[in-house]
Amino acid sequence: MADMTTPTTPGTAGVTEYLVMLTVETQRDSGVVAQTHRAAIATVPAGATRFDLLGWARAQLPQEHRDGVILFFYAEPNRLGGGAS
């Protein structure tokens, strides 16, 4: 998996900032269903894939939700206005 981090220097050559959102549902031993949602900006190196982003986003969740059912996953470049960096 590509090494992704939270951004430190926007527009750094060779990396792109992505807005990543993930919603996961898990069922606890008690039968209670819980959902968790995370939204974050990931600094993605050249050559990274959407699957890499998904793995990164899952790793940002609390441990008890990492193996949950994915209800929603979104990843798009964060930059608006035609710039891709």
Q: What is the pLDDT of residues 16-67, one digit of tens each?
A: 899 999 999 999 889 899 999 999 999 988 889 999 999 999 999 999 999 9
Is pTM, for the whole model, over 0.85?
no
Does the residue 30 lie in any domain?
yes
How far is Cα 10 from Cα 71, in angstroms, rounded to an integer? 30
Where does residue 82 fall: left (phi above 0), alpha (psi -120 to 50 degrees), or beta otherwise? Answer: left
Structural domain of 73: 15-77
| Distance in Å from the first CA to the final CA of the chain | 21
Count: domains in the chain: 1
How far is Cα 85 from Cα 79, in angstroms, rounded to an integer? 6
Tokens 């606890």 correspond to: 28
Distance of CA 7 to the CA centre of its chain: 13
Does the residue 37 lie in any domain?
yes
